[in-house]
Structure 1
Amino acid sequence: MVGLGALLIEVGDTAQLEVVAPLLSTDALQVHAGSPVRIERWGGPGVLQGRVRAVEPAAFTKVSALGVEEQRVNVLIDLTSPPAQWAALGDGYRVVARVITREAQDVTLVPVSALFPLPSGAAAGVAASLEAENAEPRMAVFVVDGGRVRRTPVVLQARGSTHAWVKSGLDAGAQVVVYPPAALVEGARVKVRTP
């Protein structure tokens, strides 16, 4: 006995798999058709390549693991790696998709954990030097200089989940303090530790 409308069989072409990535709607605004994608942690060796085919026009509400309602948007991704590399993938498998929204060569990156908001009024001294760039520093880092820290205002070009792209204010190769405690002040002596 089969109930009316019961699904009996689902037919699909496993050689034409696509990845459906439910991104936060705020992140999906940065994604466009044609954006390159890296498929990681899919269960096989290496990283697979893909390309965004479409960003769906409607969002939906999903409750996160922490119980927070989030607006998500499905992003449809075509696999561009040779099919022999991902032949073991199947319908409903879990993958991690990294959509590349911006690429640049020779940029200065800093861990997001090193950034902190610049206190109001602290940017006055550096605003003149950055005036030509029409950018006002709103963030800062503590740079280690001769065993002491120096608060350094920075202008960010872009920010990701783990690193930020520094447009100006920080020299490449500078050592910065990650997770600076609130008690850390300008000129404090520090000791560099390697994790």
Structure 2
Amino acid sequence: MFKNKLMVGLSIGLAIFAVGYVFNHFQATEVQVRTVLRGELAEYIEVRGKVEMDRKELISSKWSGVVGDILVREGNMVQPDTALLSLKVLNSGNAAAELEKARISKQAALRDFNYKNEKLEKYRKLYREGIVSEEEVKDLEMAVTAAEAARVAAEQQYKIVADNFLVNSSLGLESGNGRLTVRAGTTGKILAKYVDSGVSVVSGAPLFEVERENSAYYVRADVLTDDAVKLKLGQTAILTGEALDDAELPGKIVYIAPKAETTLSSLGVEQQRVEVRISYSYQDLPLRLGYGVDVKIVAALEPDAIFVPEKAVFEKEGIDHVLAIEENKLKLLPVKTGIENDDYIQILEGLREGDKIAVDPDNKLKPGMRVKIRR
């Protein structure tokens, strides 16, 4: 009789234990779990850059006149005193007409800029109210930038023409026209030609752009000041983009501007950016002057770092924390972090290699909760 009661009691106990185990198992919350890693970790600054040249020269006209024969083409090599084009210099009457033309152009450029700038301010307000799209604001901002450049160019051109109004008269050409030859002043290669035969030019008008001998290419990138404080000469940069057919081209920082410049973002927000120049080996590469590239600067490198996915770290009461997993339960741990990138963040204190942590935890997860790994 006693033996039968004992067997019944054991059966009931096992049943209760089994029910409890099943209950606890299926009550466990699923979480995404990752292991704390150890290895090399880099922090990057990513920005857009453009290929530029350190030694180029703009050849401008010293006189007002009409372009005659053009004697060189883009890509031609020139030496000092190489003839570039002939120029039929205008008499003083034509110079006065050029001055009036420059004045009218200056006024027109100013009106165009004011109109587009006022329209941009209205569009920014409409964007904040949700009436127009960000793309419309960006398109108009580009138009304003172009109008501003045209306004400045027109003002400069007018000043040049006004300052040199009497220059042609000093040549003694009041009663007729003279012909001059524009010549190169340096050794190099013609990069660009800005005029054609028969075109009228005023004093100061650009004629050619020349790549000077022994010029070097570099990539210019304008970096936000918050990121620029992390930069040093000699730091590694990685260049990528369509122009490189998605290949990675290494480079290094060779220049950091001593001061920042204020620019406007596409939404009209003021930003302070610092010019950075990156040298690279450009032999046998398709990168040409003016090409755009993606720049990834290695701002910091830890060869032996403890790190976790960036989404595993969250802030609580001003302190970084993670949810560690010990014996299938969550444990809230404070951590001290170091460098980071888009994927991972360094852990200086609070975790060890091989520890298990929850990734991208939601607000429902609490310390002490039983969890199981999400498959």
Give the TM-score normalised by the residue count of structure 2: 0.42
**Aligned ranges for residues 85-124 of structure 1 at < 5 Å?**
87-119=285-317
Query: Equivalents in 1 of 2:354, 2:207: separation in Å?
Result: 61
Task: Please tell me whether the aligned partners of residues 313 and 320 of structure 2 are also in contact (alpha carbons under 8 angstroms).
Answer: yes
Equivalent AA in structure 2 for residue 111 of structure 1:
P
Residue identity matched to 2:357: V
Q: Which of 7, 17, 21 matches 2:221? A: 21
- 1:181 corresponds to 2:362: yes
State the partner residue of 1:12.
211
Aligned length: 174
Q: Which residue of 2 aligns with 1:49?
A: 250
Aligned-pair CA distance for 1:36 = 1.4
Measure how far apart 1:6 and its partner are: 3.2
Q: 2:304, 2:349 → 1: CA distance?
A: 13
SS at match of 1:11: strand
Instruction: Give a deviation string over 1:129-168, Cα, whole Å, max 9, x none.
Output: xxxxxxxxx3111123444322121111223444321112
Residue type of the partner of 1:8?
Answer: L
Distance 2:359 2:268 in 1: 29
Q: Which amino acid aligns with 2:355?
A: A
Q: Which amino acid aligns with 1:109?
A: F
CA distance in 2, matches of 1:82, 1:37: 14
* 2:226 match: secondary structure: helix
Give matches, 1:146-165, under 5 Å.
Answer: 146-165=327-346
Aligned-partner Cα distance in 1 for 2:203–2:373: 70
Specify which of 233, 239, 249 is matched with residue 39 of structure 1. Answer: 239
In the alignment, the residues of structure 2 paired with residue 189 and residue 41 of structure 1 have an alpha-carbon distance, to the nearest angstrom, of: 47
Residue 55 of structure 2 corresponds to which residue in structure 1? Answer: none
Q: Which has the higher strand share?
A: 2
Q: In the alignment, what sits opposite 2:263? A: 62
Residue pair 1:15, 1:83 contacting (<8 A) in 2 also: no
Distance 1:52 1:102 in 2: 13
CA contact (8 A) 1:147 1:189 kept: yes
What percent of counterpart residues are identical?
Answer: 29
SS of the residue corresponding to residue 289 of structure 2 reads: coil
Distance of aligned partners of 1:115 and 1:63 in 2 relative to their CA distance in 1, 3 Å threshold: farther
Tell me how far 1:23 sits from its aligned partner.
0.7
Amino acid across the alignment from 1:94: G
The C-alpha deviation readout for 1:84-103, integer Å capped at 9, x for no partner, is 2xx21112222121222222
CA shift in 2, pair 1:155/1:8, >3 Å: same
Point out the structure with max Rg over C-alpha: 2
Conserved 8 A contact 2:265-2:271 = yes
Q: Which has the higher contact order (CA 8 A, sep 6+)?
A: 2
* One-letter amino acid matched to 2:310: V
Cα 1:168/1:42, change in 2 over 3 Å: farther
The alpha-carbon distance between structure 1 residues 146 and 12, as it changes in their structure 2 partners (threshold 3 A), is: farther
For 1:94-125, what per-residue CA distance to the aligned partner results, in whole angstroms no more than 9, with x for missing partners? 212122222222211223322112336xxxxx
Match of 1:129 in 2: none
* Alpha carbons of structure 1 residues 43 and 149: separation in structure 2 relative to 1, 3 Å: farther
Flag the 1:187–1:105 CA change in 2: closer, same or farther, 3 A.
Answer: same
TM-score normalised by the chain length of structure 1: 0.76
Unaligned stretches of 5+ in structure 2?
Answer: 1-199
